[in-house]
A = this chain, B = another copy of it.
């Protein structure tokens, strides 16, 4: 009653399809490749993780995970000038997406925009006091979830190696184009 197919029965329906294409075998081989599965796992677990934290943040703090990422960057070094462009690059968003994200955050009273005195094209983004406050609550939720799903299942060594590996992957991605 385990996971594997019970050998014969399940295969019957597709066998009626016509001549068993030579493609089918090749496709089955490709689909069962180790790398394909591993890669899928990376994407899937990251997606699940983000969905989980996003849902929890929305429920408990009323902000999305993306908004939290913005607040993280704005709170990191208070007073540092951060432009929309900079945020867009850092968050892997387009400039248009960033515009509207900040529209929503501004409307929610979490940030405000200030035209840069040095360059009249750029607008700088700052947290409001309310932004910092919401961020603190969100950070607590975040910490709890990270603890549970990211730290809990891993040894300290695993964690260190995982981070290092991701960092190399991320660097490779950024360096290319």
Interface residues of A (CB under 8 A from B): 5, 10-15, 17-18, 21, 23-24, 26-28, 30-33, 35-36, 38-52, 65, 69, 71-73, 75-81, 91-92, 114, 126-127, 129, 132-133, 135-136, 139, 142-143, 146-154, 158-159, 161-174, 176
A41 engages B149 (CB within 8 Å): no
* B contact residues around A28 at 8 Å (CB): 75-78
DSSP class of A's interface residues: helix, strand, loop or mixed? helix
- Given the interface pairs A72-B31, A136-B26, the reply to whether A49 lies near B41 with Cβ below 8 Å is no
* B contact residues around A148 at 8 Å (CB): 172, 176
A166 engages B30 (CB within 8 Å): no
- Given the interface pairs A13-B79, A79-B11, the reply to whether A165 lies near B154 with Cβ below 8 Å is yes
A163 to B49, CA, bound (A): 15
